Amino acid sequence: MRLENRLDKYNFDESFDLVIIGGGINGAGVARDAAERGLKVLLLEKNDFGSGCSAHSTRLVHGGLRYLEHLEFDLVKESLHERETLLRNYPHLVSPLRLMIPVYAGNKIKMWKLKLGMLLYDWLSAGKSLPSHQVLKENQHNLIEAGIESSNFLGATFYYDAQVSFAERLVLENILTAQSKGAICLNHCEVSEIICSKVHGSYHAQGVKFKDLLNSKRPYSVFAKNIINMAGPWVDKLNNRLKETNSFPILAKLERRIGGTKGSHIVVKKFRGAPYEFGIYNEAKSDGRPFFILPYKIGMNDEVYLIGTTDIFLEPGEDLDSIGISQKEINYLLNETNELFPDAHLKEEDILNTYCGVRPLPPTKKGKNAGAVTRRHFVINHNKELVDNYYSVVGGKLTTFRSLAKEVVDLFTSNRCFTDSRNTVGSQYPSYLNFYDYIKEITKEYSQKYDIDAHSILHLLMLYGTNTSKVLDLTLENPLLKSKINKDFEDIEAQIVYAIRYEQAYTVEDILLRRISIGLSTNKFDRDIIKTISYHIKEEFDLQGRNRDKYQEEVLINDFNN
C-alpha cells in the first residue's frame, strides 16, 4: 500500500448520517453503536485513535466510590452497571482489581463514614460478579501484605473495582468493530471547518472540511445529516470552526463548554513494600486529595506501578496540545508514595514513564474544589444556540463510554442497541467455556501450532483476545516475525506488521504507544526498537527513494528520548 493513497478507497461524495469528530473511547463507542444500528458513519480523529484523554486516565473501570461523597448516586449506579458489562464483554482487557483504602488518624474520611460508603457501594452494585467489601480493624494490620505506614493506623477497607491497563486497545477494538459494520474511521485527519448554511435566521450544520495530515494536508469535504463534536478537551476549540458555506465565521456564538482539570501520573518499577495483589486508594497527607498506587500489568510484561492522579484546574489559555507533567506534580506523587511506604525511598530517577492529560469537565464556579466537579457527561444539542444538527459531548469516562454512546445514538435512530450483549471483534469467545478455561486451552493449542512459548502466547491473548490468531498467522508467512522487538519485553515483530496492515497504524508513535505494550511502561526507548518499527513501516508502505527519506524525516523519527 502507498501512504498517499490511503483514503482513495473511500467514497466521500455520499452523505453520511453521522460525522463524529474525535476518536477517543467515547467517539469510538458512538461509531460502533451507530454502525451496528445501521447508520452511515464517518469518524475523524486529528491524531491517533485513543491518543488523548483515553490514554491519560488512571485506567480504572470503576463505580466512582468518591462520587458518593457528592451524592451523585445515579452516576455511581450507572458506572457500577457499566463496570459489570465491561468485565463481561472484554475479559482480556478489563480485569478485576482489589483495592485497599487505609485509614489513619487525622484523615478527612473517618472509618465509620468509609464503612457506610462501602455498604452503599455494595448495595448499588447488587447482583455484581465481584466480591463485596471487607473491613480490617486496627489490630489486623498484620493481615495487610504491604509495607504501608503503621503509625496512627486505624484500619482499612478492601473492595473491588476493575482495571483496563491497555485502554488504547479498548478504544481500538471499538474502532475496528465499527469498521466491520461499515463505518469509516480515520486517524490523522483534522477537521478544519464545520460547514454551515443559514436557513430562516438559524444555522444548519451540513458537513465538514478535513485535512489528511499524513498526505501533505490534502483537503476533503463531506456532508452529513448530523455532526457530533466529541473532541474532549478540544470541544470549544472545534466549536470555533463553525463556518458558513462561503467560509466566513457564523454569527452565532456558542457557550463555553469546557473547564477541564489536569491529571498527571508516573510509572515506577516495583518498590520495597509495594503490594502485589491489590492496589491502594489513599488520602494524600499533604492536601487530603485521593490518589492511587496500582499494580500495572500490561500483557505479560514485567509488573510496574501506576501512581496518580493529580487534579489541577487549567490555567487560562493553556495549550492543550503541549500540556505535560510539572516538577511540582512529580514531587507530589513521589512524596505521597514515600509517606505511605516508608521503605520505598522512591526518587525521580526511579520513574520509568510519565503522562498527563486533561479531563473534559464542564466549567465551574471559581473557588470550587477540582475534585468536586461532576464527572457525569452532558450531550448538548446546539439548536438552542441557533445551530441545528450539531451536537457536543462534554465529560464522560472510560467506565461509562458504552452507556454514553447509547444515549447519543438514541437521538438519531429508534433501532435497538445491542452493545451490552454483542461483543467486539477481539472478544468473540465461545459461550461453552469461561474465559480462563478458554485461555488455558487456546494457549496450549497456539503454542504448538505456531511454535512459540506459552508465555508469549498468553501475552498476546491479553492484548488481542480472539484476534490473536490473526497476529500469529503472520509468523507462518514470515517466521522472522516471531522475534521479540526487544529482549526486555514480550512484544514480537508480528504485532508491528499486524498494526500496520489491519489497525491503521502509520507512525512509530502509533505503534509504540498505542498498538504494542512497550511504550506503556517506559518512555526511555532503545534506539533499536524505533529502528525495527521504522523498518516495517517503510517496507509495508513501500516507501522508496526520496519518498522514503521524506517520510522518515517528517513522520517516523520523533525523538522519543528527548
Q: Which stretches does DSSP call E strand in 112-270?
A: 134-137, 153-163, 184-186, 189-199, 202-212, 218-229, 242-244, 261-269
Sorted by sequence, the CB contacts under 8 Å of residue 490 that are 6+ apart come out as 299, 300, 301, 455, 456, 459, 484, 517
pTM of the prediction?
A: 0.94
Confirm if 378 and 395 have CB atoms less than 8 A apart: yes
Specify the length of the chain in residues: 562
Q: Which three cell numbers stand for residue 164?
A: 483496563
Q: Which three cell numbers stand for residue 464?
A: 488481542
Q: Which three cell numbers stand for residue 550?
A: 521524506
Q: Which of 296, 309, 326, 238 is nearest to 56 (CA)?
A: 309
What does the mean pLDDT of the chain come to? Answer: 91
Domains and CATH numbers, the chain: 3-53+168-258+375-409 (3.50.50.60), 261-359 (3.30.9.10), 435-556 (1.10.8)
Confirm if 301 and 353 have CB atoms less than 8 A apart: no
Q: Which three cell numbers stand for residue 258?
A: 469546557
Question: How far is 304 from 488, CA to CA, in rounded Å?
Answer: 13
Confirm if 353 and 561 have CB atoms less than 8 A apart: no
* Kind plus residue range of the DSSP H or E element containing 328: helix 327-340
Quickly count: other Cβ atoms within 10 Å of residue 211's Cβ.
Answer: 19
59 φ, ψ (degrees, to nearest 5): 65, 40
Question: How far is 259 from 4, CA to CA, in rounded Å?
Answer: 38
Confirm if 14 and 553 have CB atoms less than 8 A apart: no
* Kind plus residue range of the DSSP H or E element containing 148: none
- Is 217's pLDDT higher than 90? no
Place of cell 486529528: 46
Q: How many CA atoms lie within 13 A of 154 on its CB side?
A: 13
> What would the pLDDT profile of 467-518 be if each residue is shown by its tens digit?
999 999 999 999 999 999 999 899 999 999 999 999 999 999 999 999 999 9
pLDDT of the residue at 118: 96
> What would the pLDDT profile of 173-214 be if each residue is shown by its tens digit?
999 999 999 999 999 999 999 999 988 878 999 999 999 999
Burial of 456 (0-12, 13-18, 19+ CB in 10 A): buried
- Is 405's pLDDT higher than 90? yes
Question: How far is 560 from 525, CA to CA, in rounded Å?
Answer: 7
Question: How far is 491 from 302, CA to CA, in rounded Å?
Answer: 12
pLDDT of the residue at 135: 93
> What would the pLDDT profile of 53-105 be if each residue is shown by its tens digit?
999 999 999 999 989 988 999 999 999 999 999 999 999 999 999 999 999 99
pLDDT of the residue at 1: 65
In Å, what is the CA distance from 335 to each residue of 265, 286, 329? 13, 9, 10
47 φ, ψ (degrees, to nearest 5): -110, -120
Q: Which three cell numbers stand for residue 346?
A: 522512591
In Å, what is the CA distance from 128 to each residue of 96, 99, 124, 335, 433? 12, 16, 9, 36, 20
Q: Which three cell numbers stand for residue 441?
A: 486451552
- Is 448's pLDDT higher than 90? yes
- Is 561's pLDDT higher than 90? no
